[in-house]
Structure 1
Amino acid sequence: MTVLVAFTAPLANLNQTAGGLDAGPTGRTWILSSMAIGLGAFLLTAGRVADDYGRRRAFVAGSVVLAVGSLVSAVTPDVEVFVLARIVTGVGGAAVIASGLGMIAVAFPDPLERARATGWWGASVGAGIAVGPLVSTWLGRWHSWRDVYAVLALAAVLLAVTATGCRESRATHRARLDLPGIVLLALGTSALLAGLTEGRQGWTRPAVITLLTLGVLLLAAFVVAEWRSDHPMIDLGLFRRPAFAAVTAAAFATGGGIIALLSFVSGFAGLALGLAPTTTAWLMLAWSGPSVLTALAARRLPHHWTGRARMGSALVVIVVGQLMLWGVDSTSGAARFVPGLLLAGVATGVLNAALGRESVASVPEGQGALGSGANNTARYLGSALGVTVVSVVAAPSGSATKEALVAGWDRAVIVTAAVSLLGALVVLLVGERSAVEPEPRDTALAKLSPDEAWEG
């Protein structure tokens, strides 16, 4: 939950944060997308390292890095340093997320118990998104928008200390670390996302063209390197698994769809509608609150309803919720957002629970953290790309007039709803079976992964 609180911290106080750092339109986009860049670039790497070198070790190290990044964010007066610190925070968060869900996969070999645990994991995702804007707003009103980052640094330290008491686990057969793959993925992803973010101020600028070209070339080199490697960071053959392809598409659509749209709610509601930061924080809760409850309740859904069906139908309902947000005008109040956010939140909870379960089940046993890392990489890459696209379509010229923002909001709704719908279609069409099939409880209780080694 701490990672998601950090991820959403700037949303409710974006206007105050940008003002405090003297950030312009491009700086605002970087403030929103910088942590997603760190997450997207290093989640897959973190998953592989956690599986091979110890999930607890990766979790503790990630918590420490998260604390350092948050502390720097709390004290720096410069937007450039703040953005770099948020990227570092994302790197630490990547290790926490990937290793944390991998630890759950090992701790709960029973599929029924694992479903319950991943339901709690999905609920923590929603809870973090709910708590982040509220805590950020409350601390900002009490003293300063910076305080939330100091609190996050302390929470991350406590998280690291607590995790030292957990049992260590790793895959029995340690693969050689794929350094070329790690470097190519991190640099390629970072360059691509940086180019998209900077492109908002002009797509023909030499720096933008260079970054985008470099990003594409490096990612292409990553694919080639992984195909040729005897010890790849990720087996690209996993994408031939319908379950893995489906859960990856669902995660990407989640980030590029509803999460990207929500990143724009605070700034839009504050600038175009004149809503207070506290009100916009409660609007976020209208979405994230139901997502927590439904993630916890998702395990009570019928067992014959497969993971693929849950993900696909949840994305369809999210599309409906997003489209209910279309047509807002400058006279609209907070209540105009609530029905669509509530509906999308209910569906997001079901989706989060299914993503947590399917991401682990769609990969071979012993690679749970890798599955988690791949899934969350897709989610946060989708988020970073989505935030950038939303920024471009919502205010292509950087205009902040109310009329331009209202028109831009409608464009953002349509674009992000299209991303969610495309994700739903891919999930429902890409495969015939879910990664997880229901099995009798007595069989499940007797099932234990032989590929996991435990150390006291």
Structure 2
Amino acid sequence: MSRDEARTASRALFVVCAATLLVLLNYTAPVAVLPQTAASLGAGLTTQTWLINAITLGLAATLLVAGSLGDDFGRRRVFWVGLALLAVSTAAAAVAPDAGTFIAARVVQGVAGAAILAAGLGLLGHAYRTNHGRAHATARWASMLGAGIAIGPLASAGLASIGSWRWFYVILAALAAVLAVTGGRLLAESRAARVARIDVPGVLTLGTGLALVLVAVTAGRTGWVRPATLVPLVLGALLLAVFVAVEARGRAPMLDLALFRRPDFRVATLGALFTGLAALGPSTVLPTLAQRLIGVSALGAAGLAFVWAGASFVVSDQMRRLGTRVAPHRQLALGFALTAVGYLAMLGYADAHSWLRTIPGLLISGAGSGLLNAALARLAVATVPADRVAMGSGANNTARYVGAALGVAASITAASSLLPAGQSGGFSAHGADAVLLLGAVLALAGMGIALARRNERATT
């Protein structure tokens, strides 16, 4: 790599990491201040699920679309549009008068985040071409996921304690606007060497299908046989089936289904799905449970999130030095194993009314998350053709955030189950343990997928 190429790559790494940090700060902002936000907006228990999950809906429904558009029409262009949209939608969240407006703004924030994550990782895949360079860049990018999750709840809780939860969104909107104005000048444009086409049927069927499925899953906590759950679930499943058929026959598909014949791509996608289910889902709900069941303050809950995400940040960042020495499948297996061990170590914390009981488990599971993030970022760009790196990022992150949405919904359902006789609504200590057990089982399933691929490689 020449000096000019190295300078261009370093600028891309800085801008993409800064934008990724903003996305994750925004993603986790409501976690520690959910009770205050819900009270201010008049949101009930079911609506509170949407206060958290709305951004995941926007992310999951548009990540693959954003990656495909970036490859075809310019990754820098899609990245910049994402930053501009993040600034506008975050400002809207700051002034939202009611829960409906806030949820709509969070969905748009998810769309903006999808453009930033998919195109950003695609920009890094284009800027860094060697295995060592990509391991360094993707590990640094993955560390921003942990840093954002660590700082977001603390920042929102701190600002809420001295003023209002809305201040966080005002500041974040300003930062996104500044980065949109200045950051785009530091990036070099890149796109695939093919005729650009918009896969309109694919965009419509995938985006709408995923949105309907996630709506159904979120509504499922109030009953799975209700029309409000069954109708969007069935329609969403049908649209996703149509998407597969469209992509299989399309001349320029948004997702090349032939990639699923590659074992490494399958493992990367399934690993991302189970990372969302096992790592992101339960950990997103835990701060709220700590507030409701133990009486931890908003800042205290943010501190717990910081312990988990801080461990994730440190481990991901270190993998830029060790990443090429450890096979990504082994990283995935170890990451899932640590996640399961960490959850099991926290069992009984709510019943004991002790937040201290969570610290060892948070450190262990956070370290596991760091390994998962670094391995998945590396696999996302290494398992697809060089001219489709943004599409690979979009597919990987789509699986991750679909898993996260499912994991959050399943965790809230588990937390509100096993209520004492005569109690309705809310959460229970036994439900908190059910969340941890669910996460551990899902993590072990993810470990099994990673180990199966490693064994397959060993025998071929």
Deviations 1:312-331 (A, max 9, x none): 12111111111111122344
What amino acid sits opposite 1:418 in the alignment? V
Q: In 2, distance between residues paired with 1:175 and 1:60?
A: 19
What's the RMSD between the two structures over aligned residues? 1.8
- Is the 2:334–2:371 contact (alpha carbons within 8 Å) kept by the matching residues of 1? no
Number of residue pairs aligned between Structure 1 and Structure 2: 434
- Is the 2:136–2:323 contact (alpha carbons within 8 Å) kept by the matching residues of 1? no
Deviations 1:315-348 (A, max 9, x none): 1111111111112234432211100000111121
Q: 2:7 is matched with which residue?
A: none
Q: 1:427 is matched with which residue?
A: 450
Is 1:123 aligned to residue 146 of structure 2?
no
Q: 1:162 Cα shift? A: 2.5
Matching of residues 309-328 of structure 1 within 5 Å: 309-328=330-349
- Is the 2:131–2:324 contact (alpha carbons within 8 Å) kept by the matching residues of 1? no
What amino acid sits opposite 1:339 in the alignment? P
What amino acid sits opposite 1:406 in the alignment? A
The normalised TM-score by structure 2 is: 0.91
Q: 1:199 is matched with which residue?
A: 220
Q: In 2, distance between residues paired with 1:56 and 1:361?
A: 20
Q: 2:233 aligns with which of 212, 229, 243?
A: 212
Residues 159 and 432 (structure 1), Cα distance of their counterparts in 2 relative to 1, 3 Å cut: farther
Q: 1:67 Cα shift? A: 1.3
- Is the 1:201–1:397 contact (alpha carbons within 8 Å) kept by the matching residues of 2? no
- Is the 1:328–1:336 contact (alpha carbons within 8 Å) kept by the matching residues of 2? yes
Q: 1:444 is matched with which residue?
A: none
Q: 1:337 aligns with which of 358, 362, 366?
A: 358
Deviations 1:292-329 (A, max 9, x none): 11111113337452111111121111111111111223
- Is the 1:59–1:95 contact (alpha carbons within 8 Å) kept by the matching residues of 2? yes
Q: 1:178 aligns with which of 199, 204, 208?
A: 199
Is 1:258 aligned to residue 273 of structure 2?
no
Is 1:40 aligned to residue 60 of structure 2?
yes
Q: 1:257 Cα shift? A: 0.8
Q: In 1, distance between residues paired with 2:213 and 2:356?
A: 38
Is 1:356 aligned to residue 374 of structure 2?
no
- Which deviates further from its counterpart, 203-212 or 373-382? 203-212
Q: 1:97 aligns with which of 110, 114, 117?
A: 117
What amino acid sits opposite 2:401 in the alignment? Y
Q: 1:245 aligns with which of 266, 274, 278?
A: 266
- Is the 1:22–1:79 contact (alpha carbons within 8 Å) kept by the matching residues of 2? yes
- Which deviates further from its counterpart, 350-359 or 170-179? 170-179
The normalised TM-score by structure 1 is: 0.92
Q: 1:160 aligns with which of 180, 185, 189?
A: 180
Q: In 1, distance between residues paired with 2:189 and 2:199?
A: 22
Residues 169 and 129 (structure 1), Cα distance of their counterparts in 2 relative to 1, 3 Å cut: same
Q: 2:435 is matched with which residue?
A: 412
Q: 1:75 Cα shift? A: 0.6
Q: 1:431 Cα shift? A: 5.7
What amino acid sits opposite 1:320 in the alignment? V
Q: In 2, distance between residues paired with 1:72 and 1:55?
A: 26
Q: 1:175 Cα shift? A: 4.3
What amino acid sits opposite 2:83 in the alignment? S
Residues 365 and 321 (structure 1), Cα distance of their counterparts in 2 relative to 1, 3 Å cut: same
Q: In 2, distance between residues paired with 1:76 and 1:403?
A: 26
What amino acid sits opposite 1:3 in the alignment? V
What amino acid sits opposite 2:331 in the alignment? R
Q: 1:274 Cα shift? A: 0.5
Residues 175 and 430 (structure 1), Cα distance of their counterparts in 2 relative to 1, 3 Å cut: farther
Q: 2:79 is matched with which residue?
A: 59
- Is the 2:76–2:190 contact (alpha carbons within 8 Å) kept by the matching residues of 1? yes
Residues 302 and 132 (structure 1), Cα distance of their counterparts in 2 relative to 1, 3 Å cut: closer
Residues 199 and 63 (structure 1), Cα distance of their counterparts in 2 relative to 1, 3 Å cut: same
Q: 1:391 is matched with which residue?
A: 412
Q: In 2, distance between residues paired with 1:397 and 1:201?
A: 15
Deviations 1:269-309 (A, max 9, x none): 11110011111111111111111111111133374521111
